Each structure stands twice: as C-alpha cells, then as structure tokens.
Amino acid sequence: VWAALKATHFFKHESCGKCTPCREGTFWLDKLLHRIYHGHGTPRDLEVLQSVARNIQGKCLCALGEFATSPVISFVKHFMPEFQAKVAQARPEAVPAD
C-alpha cells in the first residue's frame, strides 16, 4: 500500500494539469490511497480506487496520465490482501467538535 501511495503521489505531483482525467484522477488516486494507508479506508474506497484508475485510462493528453494508473491497477491486482488488511484495520476518522 505504501509503494502504491508513493508512486501515485509522484504522478499527482508531475501532472501538468492540462487534462481533467489526469489532474483530477491522480488527485483522487492519491487521496484514496492516503486514506487507506493512514487507516481511514473503507471497502468502498477500494472499489472507487479501481474505478478511478480505469476511468483515467485512454482519456489523457499525454502518457503520464496513462502511466499513473499502472501502479494502482497492478498493486491492487497482485496485493489485494494487503489492501484489504489495511481497510480491515481502519479506524473511523476523527470528527471535529462543534
């Protein structure tokens, strides 16, 4: 999970922002992986993570957006038990007091 987060963070940082799928997609991939890694992920986050990655593919102006999905898709495919374990150990996010 850590490696997927670091790879995704790199692609988010390198995105030029000219095309929406890459700009928004890498932002959401990074946000979802950050939430999962830091113990706030849900089973739904795993579904959304895969959906976002699939929806970026084939819609970017350059290769960076295409490559940004590869680590996520590959890590989730080959290391799903690790992702599921992180989600199973998740604790609810703190809600600020009013």
What whole-number distance in Å separates Cα of residue 21 and Cα of residue 27? Answer: 10
Give the pLDDT confidence of 59-92 residue by residue, as tens digits: 999 999 889 999 999 999 999 999 999 999 988 6
* Domain range for 33: 2-87
Structural domain contains residue 96: no
Could you tell me the CA-to-CA distances from 58 to 7, 20, 68, 91, 96 in Å, in that order? Answer: 19, 12, 12, 35, 40
Structural domain contains residue 94: no
Quick one: pLDDT at residue 92?
A: 66
Quick one: pLDDT at residue 95?
A: 47
What CATH number does the domain containing 18 carry? 1.20.1440.230
